[in-house]
């Protein structure tokens, strides 16, 4: 079975590729989780984040957007002292901010999923990470440049990122 080349180095990566990556997600909580993990991955290897994913879920209230949007300095201090996750003050603060902005999108579009799946097609009909990044940043989201958005969009199935020879490409 031929996979995308990045998924061949490790069983955890292979399993993630085969069972999750690129499969369309419509659940707001799972979408926010993926967006947040991509934010934390910036500058690191994806395997580092994947190995810590269960710890991230526990530490961030299983990515309950409402809970995270209400985090205060005590919560941020708790996260900064949690050695089982990536402890980066800026990324933690940006996650809280992004949860607050996600709630605003939910109010405007009915769900974060509706916002994502209805908005960011380019002229060719494919989804565009540059447009997504620009719109999110304009709305006050942080640390979501077009490369991070592209990785996110591939992970949640908005963009088909599988290599042409990958058995999941079609």
DSSP per residue, 64-116: -HHHHHT--HHHHHHHHT-TTS---HHHHHHHHHHHHHHHHHHHHHSSHHHHH
Determine the pLDDT at residue 74.
98
Domain containing 58 — which CATH number?
Answer: 1.10.340.30
**pLDDT top residue among 97 and 124:** 97
- Identify whether 3 is part of a domain: no
Worst-scoring range by mean pLDDT, 26-30, 43-47, 127-131? 127-131
Active site residues: 16, 38, 46
- Identify whether 166 is part of a domain: no
- Identify whether 148 is part of a domain: yes
Determine the pLDDT at residue 120.
78
- Identify whether 72 is part of a domain: yes
- Identify whether 7 is part of a domain: no
Q: What is the pLDDT of residues 68-120, one digit of tens each?
A: 999 999 999 999 999 999 999 999 999 999 999 999 999 999 999 999 999 87
Determine the pLDDT at residue 119.
85
- Identify whether 98 is part of a domain: yes
Which residues form the domain of 87? 12-155
- Identify whether 113 is part of a domain: yes
Determine the pLDDT at residue 127.
82
Domain count, the chain: 1
Determine the pLDDT at residue 125.
67
Query: How many whole angstroms separate alpha carbon 90 and alpha carbon 148?
Result: 16
Kindly report the average pLDDT of the chain as a whole number: 96
Query: How many whole angstroms separate alpha carbon 18 and alpha carbon 5?
Result: 12
> Using the 8-state DSSP alphabet, how is residue 121 labeled?
B
- Identify whether 170 is part of a domain: no
């Amino acid at each position: 079975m031929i996979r995308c080349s990045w998924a061949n180095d490790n069983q955890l990566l292979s399993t993630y590729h085969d069972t999750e990556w690129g499969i369309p997600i419509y659940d707001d909580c799972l979408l926010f989780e993926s967006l947040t993990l991509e934010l934390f991955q910036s500058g690191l290897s994806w395997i580092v984040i994947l190995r810590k994913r269960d710890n991230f879920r526990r530490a961030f209230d299983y990515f309950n957007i409402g809970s995270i949007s209400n985090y205060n300095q005590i919560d941020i201090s708790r996260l900064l002292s949690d050695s089982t996750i990536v402890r980066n003050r800026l990324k933690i603060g940006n996650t809280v901010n992004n949860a607050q902005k996600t709630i605003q999108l939910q109010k405007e579009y009915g769900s974060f999923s509706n916002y994502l799946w209805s908005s960011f097609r380019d002229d060719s009909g494919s989804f565009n990470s540059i447009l997504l990044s620009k719109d999110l940043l304009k709305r006050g989201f942080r640390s979501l440049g077009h490369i991070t958005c592209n990785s996110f969009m591939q992970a949640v199935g908005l963009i088909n990122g599988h290599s042409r020879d990958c058995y999941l490409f079609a």
